[in-house]
């Protein structure tokens, strides 16, 4: 069966580099043991796999204290650890207009259980927090880049504004880690998916906390350490990683991170910008298309969101699917962003190139688009 042209990298990247597939296969065939549990060679190799994955991630993203990288099954779990572990009774939180349900839903739950108040931070024209106008709050939660519009937050300015201040800066880097270089200075908690820009398999992700930012663990259980105690160890990462981790997945994530390090985030970013420029140029010049901002390539992640006038976005995505083009329509688990964009509740169509997308893939998308528009 011919593989579709995959343009849904904002959901999960595909195809993965061969090195990622090989690393997962190697872990399943040869590592076997459970990290931190037992001293036999396979358990040791598993421990080294997690250790070296943490080190590789820390180096790629410029994170201090790699032991403060907590592996999770996705960015959503990381965000839950951050929000539920750090926010206290009656805290007030400012969020961007573009947050994913991984932020909205935990905050709603915390509003009901702990009386936490959440409000939209004063925003720039793209719905992102304006560093100069953030009120005095317990925490500011912002996406690094919106999964709906692609708008990229100014994390550097936010870090300068909130670094070492009492307001926690919590950044959802699901759409930026591995894809867009960014400065983590001043960031208190960084949440990343492993299976998007970092090219690991699904079921991987992590959250990193800065020195002195110590959340309450979300789950308790066996860690392979301090087993005689009824309590979790006090030290990182064990305190936050109860239960057997996804060693094969993390081996794949490590290979993905190393692949990106070899290619360079800047080089990937530039390549994806070229592809997005092609898409924007084609869509912007078509009167039957509604193209959503930002239009400045440096202000957007590798995704372009649009609608065909008078067409249901889900039906448009279905038409693309029939023509062998994989992209995503709907609300993208971010209804707030679509409200801001004016596309709620029907949503929009999102096309998202990745590190392995080619110009030929984009031309195939254009061919399919031409056909869809012609046959309306």
The residues binding another protein (CB under 8 A) are: 35-39, 44, 47-48, 50-52, 54, 66-67, 224-226, 233, 235-238
Nearer to another protein, 144 or 245 (CB): 245
> CA-to-CA distance for 296 and 273, rounded, in angstroms?
10
Nearer to another protein, 52 or 364 (CB): 52
Q: Give the SS3 label for residue 91.
A: coil
- Closest approach, Cβ 234 to another protein, in A, equals 9
- Closest approach, Cβ 52 to another protein, in A, equals 8
Nearer to another protein, 65 or 164 (CB): 65
- Closest approach, Cβ 133 to another protein, in A, equals 40
- Closest approach, Cβ 48 to another protein, in A, equals 6
> CA-to-CA distance for 113 and 89, rounded, in angstroms?
8
- Closest approach, Cβ 58 to another protein, in A, equals 11
- CB distance 197 to 353 below 8 Å: no
> CA-to-CA distance for 153 and 176, rounded, in angstroms?
10
Nearer to another protein, 66 or 186 (CB): 66
- Closest approach, Cβ 239 to another protein, in A, equals 10
Q: Which residues pair with 69 in a beta bridge?
A: 208
Candidates 8, 207, 198; CA nearest to 106 is 207
- Closest approach, Cβ 229 to another protein, in A, equals 8
Nearer to another protein, 232 or 325 (CB): 232
Q: Extract long-range pairs of 44-49: CB within 8 Å, 24+ residues apart.
A: 46/247, 49/247, 49/250, 49/251, 49/254
- CB distance 96 to 141 below 8 Å: yes
DSSP string, 114-165: H--EEEEPPB-TTS-B-GGG--S-SEEEEESB-TTT-BBP-HHHHHHHHTTS
Q: Give the SS3 label for residue 328.
A: strand
Nearer to another protein, 49 or 302 (CB): 49
- Closest approach, Cβ 252 to another protein, in A, equals 19
Q: Is the dihedral of CA 369, 371, 373, 376 positive or negative?
A: negative
Candidates 298, 279, 296; CA nearest to 351 is 279
Nearer to another protein, 60 or 123 (CB): 60
Nearer to another protein, 48 or 359 (CB): 48
Q: Which residues pair with 204 in a beta bridge?
A: none
- Closest approach, Cβ 225 to another protein, in A, equals 5
- Closest approach, Cβ 184 to another protein, in A, equals 20
CA angle 60, 63, 66 (to 5 degrees): 100
> CA-to-CA distance for 296 and 294, rounded, in angstroms?
6
Q: Is the dihedral of CA 337, 341, 343, 349 positive or negative?
A: negative
Nearer to another protein, 222 or 324 (CB): 222
Nearer to another protein, 236 or 344 (CB): 236
Q: List, in sequence order, the alpha helices (H) in the chain.
A: 18-26, 41-61, 75-86, 101-114, 155-162, 247-263, 265-284, 313-322, 335-341, 359-374
Residue 346: both structure tokens together: 């029907």
């Amino acid at each position: 069966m011919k593989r579709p042209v995959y343009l849904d990298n904002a959901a999960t990247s595909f195809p993965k580099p061969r090195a990622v597939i090989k690393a997962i296969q190697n872990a399943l065939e040869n590592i076997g043991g459970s990290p931190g549990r037992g001293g036999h060679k396979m358990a040791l190799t598993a421990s080294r796999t997690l250790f070296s994955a943490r080190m590789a991630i820390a180096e790629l993203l410029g994170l201090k204290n790699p032991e403060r990288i907590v592996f999770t099954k996705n960015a959503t779990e990381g965000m839950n650890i951050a929000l539920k572990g750090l926010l206290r009774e009656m805290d007030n939180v400012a969020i961007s207009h573009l947050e994913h349900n991984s932020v909205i839903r935990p905050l709603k739950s915390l509003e009901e259980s702990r009386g936490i108040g959440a409000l939209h931070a004063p925003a720039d024209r793209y719905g992102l927090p304006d560093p100069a106008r953030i009120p005095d709050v317990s925490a500011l939660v912002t996406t690094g880049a919106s999964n709906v519009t692609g708008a990229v937050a100014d994390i550097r300015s936010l870090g300068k504004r909130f670094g070492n201040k009492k307001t926690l800066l919590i950044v959802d880097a699901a759409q930026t880690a591995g894809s867009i270089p960014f400065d983590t200075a001043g960031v208190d908690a960084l949440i990343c998916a492993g299976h998007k820009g970092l090219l690991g398999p699904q079921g991987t992700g992590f959250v990193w906390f800065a020195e002195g930012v110590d959340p309450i663990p979300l789950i308790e259980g066996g860690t392979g350490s301090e087993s005689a105690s009824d309590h979790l160890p006090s030290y990182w990462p064990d305190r936050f990683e109860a239960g057997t981790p996804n060693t094969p997945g993390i081996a794949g994530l490590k290979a993905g991170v190393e692949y990106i390090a070899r290619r360079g985030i800047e080089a990937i970013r530039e390549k994806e910008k070229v592809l997005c420029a092609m898409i924007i140029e084609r869509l912007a010049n078509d009167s039957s298309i509604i193209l959503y901002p930002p239009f400045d390539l440096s202000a957007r992640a590798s995704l372009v969101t649009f609608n065909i006038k008078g067409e249901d976005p889900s039906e448009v995505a279905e038409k693309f699917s029939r023509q062998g083009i994989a992209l995503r329509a709907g609300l993208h688990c971010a209804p707030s962003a679509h409200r801001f964009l004016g596309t709620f509740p029907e949503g929009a169509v999102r096309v998202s190139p990745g590190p392995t997308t080619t110009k030929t893939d984009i031309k195939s998308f254009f061919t399919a688009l031409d056909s869809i528009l012609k046959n309306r």
